[in-house]
Amino acid sequence: MKRIAIVGGGLSGLTTAYALLGRKNDLDITVLESDSRLGGKIWTDRADGFLCEKGANGFLDNKPRTLELCKSLGIEPLRANENAAKRYIFVNGKLNSLPESPPAFIKSDLLSWKGKLRMLFEYNAPKGPDDETVADFIIRRLGKEALDKLIDPMTSGIYAGDPYTMSITSCFPRIKELEQQYGGLFKGLLKIRKEKKRRGGVTPPLQDGGSGNDKVSVAPGGKLTSFYNGAQTMTDALATELGDRLRTGVSVQGIVKNGNRYQLHTSGNTVEADIVILASPAYASAEILRDFDGDISKALSDIPYPHVAVVCFGYKKEKVGHLLDGFGFLVPHIEGRKILGTLWDSSIFPNRATEGHALLRTMVGGAKAPDMAMLADNRIISAVFDELKPILTLKSDPDMVKIYRWDKAIPQYVLGHADKLKLLDDKLRAWPGLYLTGNSYRGIGMNDCVESGYRLADEIIAGLAV
């Protein structure tokens, strides 16, 4: 019987273990997690009647694999409220509703007329190189104003990243594919719409093999989905299914190869395995592999993770003057603010606040201002309150405050990330039975973690059958 050790008890590691057992239930699998809890950055906290998400607050429902996993686990997904479709961007000192149609965009104040006219030239913009920064791609195709006011806040909201360093191919592969396959964004969308009509409503796949039902836009498609009791419902359900295969409070300090088996030196004892899956963050995997393979370790340690703080404010609704009629708002860097944006969590999902109360969840720090996330509590609270007070017409201090800090938050897919992945793939061929998975590589969201877990399970099971 093959023994499999999975290092990391976050969503990626738990999903991989569950998927492996679903395909071959007699596998000897052990999941090692250094923390005292499972779930990684999926972490739901209850505080004074408010449900706060320390990390991810859900997933988009445009990927069937995650919904299939929910069904298999017997947990019921919860879509965001309809009013959450309304989103805002803080531009020119005020909240501007994000237009949901071309006519609404033309009428909006988000961009100047010069900026709107510049976007029309996208149709004839030249193709760029195989990879470039998000900023270079957007400036070339849509213009600087579109970057500053539309794309910059979106990259902050998704990655807490900096578009001037992020790779367009690694961060937004579907968008780059539109250019490579069709010659441009507008050309691609027009041709896809025409082909969709010919196919009877089914969107044609792009060259990257994406689903024919995926929406293709600059922003990710799909509806935000979570659970009544928060995102941790999924990792809790996976942990229940895996049972005594899980070992918490066990850190892996190194790895060696002994014949056909690997030995993991942990804080408890030595664990032997035929197959080792590192589902830990890149920086943690780098440390484990430091004395085992310096090239792999170096490539992993080069993946940056900025500091991010999540600040939750709980209010009685009458103390918030602004109607919380949407998802929340993002803030472009050019506005010179101290926050990345604020989600109106109690307007997105039920059970986030008790009756008559509102929950505001604000992100601070990220790639452009990491030190903000590490400020003392009183300074972060003051900074967030001072930003939100005029925007949302706050009438008093919050009734509840929770601060969640991530010293290393979201992996950044900077320019050259694809080359780094190729190098890792090449180097891992020298070590049969050693695998990397997680959100450090090919997608940071919950959907990506689930998909990569199942994909890896299929690869391993196929290898066992040979």
Instruction: Work out the burial of residue 288: count CB atoms within 10 Å of its CB; fewer than 13 is exposed, 13-18 middle, 19 or more buried.
Output: buried
Q: How far apart are CA 259 and CA 240, in angstroms?
A: 34
Alpha-carbon dihedral 187, 190, 191, 196, rounded to 10 degrees: 160
The mean predicted confidence, pLDDT, of the chain is: 94
Residue with the larger pLDDT of the pair 205 and 457: 457
Q: Are both 337 and 362 inside the same structural domain?
A: yes
Domain for residue 228, yes or no? no
Q: Are both 175 and 322 inside the same structural domain?
A: no
Domain boundary among 217, 241, 266: 217
Q: 210 pLDDT band (50/70/90 cuts)?
A: very low
Sign of CA dihedral 419, 425, 428, 430: negative
Q: Are both 157 and 287 inside the same structural domain?
A: no
DSSP assignment letter at 151: I
Measure the CA angle with vertex 46, ends 53 and 31; round to 5°.
65
Task: Name the 3-class secondary structure at 219.
Answer: coil
Domain for residue 88, yes or no? no
Domain for residue 61, yes or no? yes
Domain boundary among 161, 182, 217: 217
Q: How far apart are CA 373 and CA 198, in angstroms?
A: 50
Q: Are both 12 and 56 inside the same structural domain?
A: no
Q: Are both 315 and 402 inside the same structural domain?
A: yes
Q: Are both 213 and 136 inside the same structural domain?
A: yes
Q: 219 pLDDT band (50/70/90 cuts)?
A: low
Average pLDDT over residues 192-197: 83
Domain for residue 59, yes or no? yes
Strand residues in 250-393 grouped as ranges (E) = 252-258, 261-266, 270-273, 275-278, 308-316, 328-330, 341-343, 357-365
Name the domain count of the chain. Answer: 3
Q: Are both 421 and 298 inside the same structural domain?
A: yes
DSSP assignment letter at 261: E
Q: 84 pLDDT band (50/70/90 cuts)?
A: confident
Quick one: which of 347, 446, 401, 436 has its CA closest to 63? 446
Q: Are both 297 and 238 inside the same structural domain?
A: yes
Residue in the block written with tokens 């909201």: 157
Structure tokens at 197: 């009509």
Determine the pLDDT at residue 102.
82
Q: How far apart are CA 257 and CA 189, in angstroms?
A: 50
Q: Are strands 275-278 and 434-436 parallel, antiparallel or unpaired?
A: parallel
Dmax (CA) of the chain = 68
CATH at 23? 3.50.50.60
Q: 87 pLDDT band (50/70/90 cuts)?
A: very high
**From edge to edge, which strands make up the β-sheet containing 341-343?**
94-97, 87-91, 328-330, 341-343, 357-365, 308-316, 400-406
Domain for residue 436, yes or no? yes
Q: Are both 339 and 379 inside the same structural domain?
A: yes
Q: pLDDT digits over 103-126, tens only?
A: 888 889 899 999 999 999 999 999
DSSP assignment letter at 374: G
CATH at 59? 3.90.660.20
> 232-242 and 11-23 helices cross at what angle (nearest 10)?
40
Q: Are both 316 and 369 inside the same structural domain?
A: yes
Structure tokens at 79: 């879509």
Determine the pLDDT at residue 392.
98
Domain for residue 98, yes or no? no
Domain for residue 313, yes or no? yes
Q: Are both 431 and 300 inside the same structural domain?
A: yes
Share of the chain above pLDDT 70, in %: 95
| Residue 210 structural domain | 111-217
Determine the pLDDT at residue 70.
98
Q: pLDDT digits over 402-433, tens only?
A: 999 999 999 999 999 999 999 999 999 999 99
CATH at 193? 1.10.3110.10
Determine the pLDDT at residue 104.
86
Domain for residue 101, yes or no? no
Q: Which residues contact 47 (CB under 8 A, 6 or more apart)?
A: 312, 314, 400, 402
Q: pLDDT digits over 299-357, tens only?
A: 999 999 999 999 999 999 999 999 999 999 999 999 999 999 999 999 999 999 999 99
Q: Are both 432 and 376 inside the same structural domain?
A: no
Q: pLDDT digits over 278-301, tens only?
A: 999 999 999 999 999 999 999 999
Q: pLDDT digits over 268-277, tens only?
A: 899 999 999 9
**Residue 207 confidence (pLDDT) above 90:** no
Phi and psi for 329 in degrees, rounded to 5? -145, 155
Domain boundary among 364, 391, 406: 406
